[in-house]
Homo-oligomer: A and B are copies of this chain.
Amino acid sequence: MRIIVQKFGGTSVATAEARRRAAERVVQACREGYMPVVVVSAMGRRGEPYATDTLIDLARQVKEDVPPRELDLLISCGEIISAVVMVQTLRALGYEAVALTGGQAGIYTDGNYGNAKIKRIDPRPILSKLQEGKIVVVAGFQGIGEDGNITTLGRGGSDTTATALGGALQAELVEIYTDVDGVMTTDPRLLPEARILSAVTYREVCEMANQGAKVIHPRAVEMAMAKNVPIKVRNTFSDAEGTLIAAEIPERVITGLAHINDLTRVTVKLNGGEDTRRVQVMVFSLLAEAGINVDMINVNPGEIFFVVRDEEAEKALTLLREKGLTASGQRGCAKLSVIGAGMQEVPGVMARLMEALDGAGIDVLQTSDSDITISFLIKQEDLRRAVEVLHRKFDLHKG
């Protein structure tokens, strides 16, 4: 049995025309000899009756707080309704299909309402429907706890449903259909010559997402990576080939650039005295207690540097000053990350990056790196220029 999992996100099921396009993708897979398992998100956006946000608003209008268990039960209806409508769309094209809730599809989660993790998948309900020759349409974003309560999977939920099913069903491929042509080398709003990547590794795409690129959610990628099922990110509305995400891909030093805007670089001066270590500990406990995320931390005997989001900067600085510390902030910074699994093998990448930025007259305020990522903190006004020079330096515009 050659199984393919095909996931259609919100924009791919928002209108009758979009759903017909999506259904044609499924029919095409049937013609290619696949048995498709289709995963759908809820239809439309806030304001449309069956969208997730509209259902949430319905409950909040009565009382602002909603018990998490009831909220999950309510919003699970959005994907169920979408699944039945997709079954009808496939049947209108002459294909028999069946709709399953997350629970009916054998997706068991922990009881963590609103942000549940998939604990296990019983593949038998879906396999038995496929054996009857039916296309299976699964309501995304949801599962069932061992106690029978309905839970939703939180951010990236329907992608996670798709990749987890791909692993459990030993699918040949998981296709994630969206409204863009694939994973790009950088943000096309910054650089028009940004290019669709034909292939990236699981780890690279997770890094790109973590570093601010809007692609598939890391939790979904991890599910596929665990069972080594390839993912393809494709556009429902175009014939572009899309991006393959797999464990190994053709060699390449740099894969893409990602960025996060609106950051403040905070500097805390240390007096160099005996209490240096105590102060270092205090700074980070203080921020953690206040729920402020810090990034690009750099601690040395004379100073502590770190980065927070612009909107949390004032709160962070006030907290530090109340403890008698000398703290200052530089707002309007951007973190530009260079991602490539190949850079581990190639010496001198950092040098080439620094050289390129220096040649363009761009100040590097701070750096950090992990095995497949090098990040630069720069002024936000330099971001576009930095993306341009690095993209060209590493020939990312060439296929």
Interface residues of A (CB under 8 A from B): 16, 19, 49-50, 55, 58-59, 61-63, 66-67, 69-71, 73-74, 77, 80-81, 83-85, 87-89, 91-92, 98-99, 101, 103-104, 125, 148-150
Which residue of B has the minimal Cβ distance to A100?
Answer: B73
Known: A69-B98, A81-B58. A104 touches B148 (CB 8 A): yes
CB of B77 within 8 A of CB of A80, answer yes
Residue in B19, B87, B104 whose CB lies within 8 Å of A67? B87
Closest B residue by C-beta to A65: B91
Cα A104 to Cα B92 in complex, Å, equals 33
Q: Which residues of B lie under 8 Å from residue A77 when comparing CB positions?
A: 77, 80-81
Asked if residues B88 and A59 are in contact (CB atoms below 8 Å), the reply is yes
Q: In angstroms, how far is the closest chain B Cβ from the Cβ of A360?
A: 54
A62 → chain B, closest Cβ, in Å? 4
Q: Taking the nearest CB of chain B, how far is it from the CB of A136, in angstroms? A: 12
Across the interface, A70 reaches (CB within 8 A) one of B69, B74, B98, namely B98
Assess A74 versus B67: contact at CB under 8 Å? Given A59-B85, A62-B89. Answer: no
- Tell me the bound Cα distance from A67 to B16 in angstroms: 19
Closest chain-B Cβ to A122's Cβ sits at a distance in Å of 11
A89 to B61, CA, bound (A): 10
Q: Is the CB of B62 within 8 A of A85?
A: yes
Residues B84 and A70 in contact, CB atoms below 8 Å apart: yes
- Cα A74 to Cα B87 with chains together (Å): 11
| Nearest Cβ on chain B to A7's Cβ, whole angstroms | 20
Q: In the complex, what distance in Å separates the CA atom of A55 from the CA atom of B50?
A: 10
Residues of chain B lying within 8 A (CB to CB) of residue A149: 104
10 nearest A-B residue pairs (beta carbon): A49-B49, A62-B88, A77-B77, A74-B84, A63-B92, A63-B88, A70-B84, A70-B99, A59-B88, A63-B91
22 A-B residue pairings within 8 Å (CB atoms): A16-B61, A49-B49, A58-B81, A59-B85, A59-B88, A62-B92, A63-B89, A63-B91, A63-B92, A66-B84, A67-B91, A67-B98, A69-B98, A70-B84, A70-B98, A71-B84, A73-B83, A73-B101, A74-B80, A77-B77, A103-B148, A104-B148
A90 to B199, CA, bound (A): 53
Answer whether A84 and B73 are a contact pair too, CB < 8 Å, given A62-B16, A104-B148, A104-B149: yes
Residues of B with C-beta under 8 A to A125: 148
Known A49-B49, A49-B50, A104-B149: A84·B99 in contact at CB below 8 Å = no
- Chain B hits for A67, CB < 8 A: 87, 91, 98
A114 to chain B, nearest CB (A): 14
Bound Cα distance A213, B104 (Å): 40
**A49-B49, A49-B50, A148-B103 in contact; A70/B58 too (CB < 8 A)?**
no
A69 to B92, CA, bound (A): 17
Report how far A88 CA is from B61 CA in the complex, Å.
9
Residues of B near A62 (CB, < 8 A) are 16, 19, 85, 88-89, 91-92
Beta-carbon contact of A74 and B63 below 8 Å: no
Chain B residues whose C-beta falls within 8 Å of the C-beta of A84 in the assembled complex: 59, 66, 70-71, 73-74
Residues of chain B within 8 A (CB-CB) of A88 are 59, 62-63, 66, 70
